[in-house]
Amino acid sequence: MAAHPGGLTAVEPSVRTRTGARTGPGAPTVSVRGLIRGFGPKGVLNGVDLDIAPGEFVALLGPSGCGKSTLLRALAGLDHDVKGSGVINVPDRVSVVFQDSRLLPWDTVLGNVTLGLRDHDADTKARRALAEVGLAGREKSWPHELSGGEQQRVALARSLVREPQLLLADEPFGALDALTRIKMHGLLRELVSAHRPAVLLVTHDVDEAIALSDRIVVLDSGLVATVRTVAPEIGSAVDAAGHEALRRDLLTALGVDVNAASH
Amino acid sequence: MSAPTVERPAVAPHQDPALAGRDDVRPTGRRLGPGRRRRLAWLLGPSALLLLWTAASATGLLDPRILSEPWTVVATAGELIADGRLQENLAISAQRAGLGLFFGIVVGALLALVSGLSRAGEAFIDGPVQIKRAIPGLALIPLLILWFGIDETMKVLTITLGVFVPIYLQTHAGLRGIDLRYVELAQTVGLGRAGFIRKVVLPGALPGFFLGLRFAVTGAWVSLVVVEQINSTSGIGYMMELARTYGQTNIIVLGLAVYGILGLLSDGIVRLIERKALSWQRTLAG
Q: What is the Cα gyration radius of chain A?
A: 19
Pick the closest to residue A99 from A182, A155, A161, A37 (CA basis): A155
**For residues B83-88, average pLDDT:** 91
B189 CB near a chain A CB, below 8 Å?
yes
| Chain B hits for A90, Cβ within 8 Å | none
Q: Which ipTM score applies to this complex?
A: 0.85
| Predicted local distance difference test score (pLDDT) of residue A21 | 45
Count how many Cα atoms sit within 13 Å of the Cα of residue A47 in the half-sphere of its side chain: 10
Q: Is residue B17 predicted with pLDDT exceeding 70? A: no
Total number of domains in chain A? 1
Residue A16 pLDDT > 90, yes or no? no
* Residue span of the structural domain in which A128 resides: 104-163
Instruction: Answer whether residue B1 shows pLDDT above 70.
Output: no
Contact between residue A103 and residue A143 where contact means Cβ atoms under 8 Å apart: yes
> How much is the pLDDT for A9?
37
- In chain B, residues with a C-beta closer than 8 Å to the C-beta of A105 are 280-281
What residues in chain A have their Cβ under 8 A from chain B's Cβ atoms? 76-78, 94-96, 98, 100, 102, 104-107, 115-117, 142-144, 158, 162
Yes or no: say if B116 and B172 are a contact pair by the CB < 8 Å rule.
Answer: yes
In a domain, B229, yes or no: yes
Range of the domain at B177: 69-277
B259 CA: distance to closest CA in chain A (Å): 35
Query: At residue B252, does pLDDT exceed 60?
Result: yes
The dihedral sign for the CA sequence A125, A126, A131, A136:
negative
Length of chain A: 263
pLDDT band for position A19 (50/70/90)? low
- Fill in the DSSP letter of residue A99: S
Question: Do B182 and B204 form a contact (C-beta atoms < 8 A)?
Answer: yes
Residues A122, A146 contacting (CB under 8 angstroms): no
Q: Looking at the domain assignment, is residue B130 inside a domain?
A: yes
Tell me how far apart the alpha carbons of residues B188 and B152 are, in angstroms, rounded to a whole number. 51
How many CA atoms does the CB half-sphere of A206 hold within 13 Å? Answer: 20
Say whether A36 sits in a helix, a strand or coil.
strand
Is A120 part of a structural domain of the chain? yes
pLDDT of residue B32: 81
The residues facing A59 across adjacent strands are A201, A216
Residue of B nearest to A143 (CA): B280
Distances in whole angstroms, Cα of residue B44 to Cα of each of A164, B37, B52, B58: 58, 14, 12, 21
> Could you say which of B184, B200, B279 has the minimum Cβ distance to residue A104?
B200
pLDDT of amino acid A255:
85
Q: CB atoms < 10 A from the CB of B219, how many?
A: 23
Residue B145 domain-assigned (yes or no): yes
Amino acid A232 reads: P
Closest partner residue to B182 among A104, A144, A162, by Cβ? A104
Which residue type occupies A201? L
Q: How far is CA B258 from the centre of its chain?
A: 16
CA distance B187 to B197: 12
| Residue B37's pLDDT band (cuts 50, 70, 90) | confident
Query: Considering the domain boundaries, does residue A158 fall inside one?
Result: yes
Q: Which of B175, B182, B185 to mutate to test the interface with A (most CBs of A within 10 A)?
A: B185
Tell the burial category of B89 from Cβ atoms under 10 Å away from its Cβ (0-12, 13-18, 19+): buried
Note whether B182 contacts A: Cβ–Cβ < 8 A: yes
Residue A73 is inside which H or E element, if any? helix A68-76
Residue A16, in any domain of the structure: no
| Chain A: closest CA distance from residue B185 (Å) | 7
A38 domain residue, yes or no:
no
Interior CA angle at B74 toward B69 and B77, to 5°? 130
For residue range B95-116, what is the model confidence (pLDDT) as tens digits?
999 999 999 999 999 999 999 9
User: Is A98's pLDDT higher than 70?
Assistant: yes
Residues of B in contact with A94 (CB under 8 A): 188
Which residue among A102, A117, A143 sits closest to B185, beta carbon to beta carbon? A102
Residue A119: CATH number of its domain: 1.20.1580.10
CATH number of residue B218's parent domain: 1.10.3720.10
Work out the percent of chain B whose per-residue pLDDT is above 90.
51
CA distance B246 to B125: 47
Is the predicted pLDDT of residue B210 greater than 50, yes or no?
yes
B-chain CB neighbours of A20 within 8 Å are none
Q: Does residue A131 form part of some domain?
A: yes
Residue B57 lies in a domain: no
Q: What percent of chain A has a predicted confidence (pLDDT) above 90? A: 53
Smallest CA–CA distance, residue B33 to chain A, in Å, is: 18
CB B255 within 8 A of CB B237: yes
Tell me the nearest-neighbour CA distance from B219 into chain A, angstroms.
Answer: 29
Chains A and B form CB pairs within 8 A to the count of: 49
β-bridge mates for residue A14, sequence order: A86
Question: Strand order in A45-52's β-sheet?
Answer: A14-18, A84-90, A30-37, A45-52
Query: What gap in Å lies between CA B104 and CA B167, rounded to an integer?
Result: 8
Q: How does pLDDT run across B153-196, given as a tens digit for each residue? A: 999 999 999 999 999 999 999 999 999 999 999 999 999 889 99
- Structurally, chain B folds into a number of domains equal to 1
- B184/A78 Cβ within 8 A: yes
Q: Are A173 and A97 in contact (CB under 8 A)?
A: no
Alpha carbons B83 and B87: distance in angstroms, whole number? 9
Instruction: Tell me if B185 and A106 make a contact (CB, 8 A cut-off).
Output: no
Contacts 24+ apart (CB under 8 A), B179-188: B179/B204, B181/A98, B181/A100, B181/A102, B182/A102, B182/A104, B184/A78, B184/A102, B185/A98, B185/A102, B185/A104, B185/A115, B186/A115, B186/A116, B187/A77, B187/A78, B188/A76, B188/A78, B188/A94, B188/A95, B188/A96
* A2 found inside a domain: no
Coil, strand or helix at A181:
helix
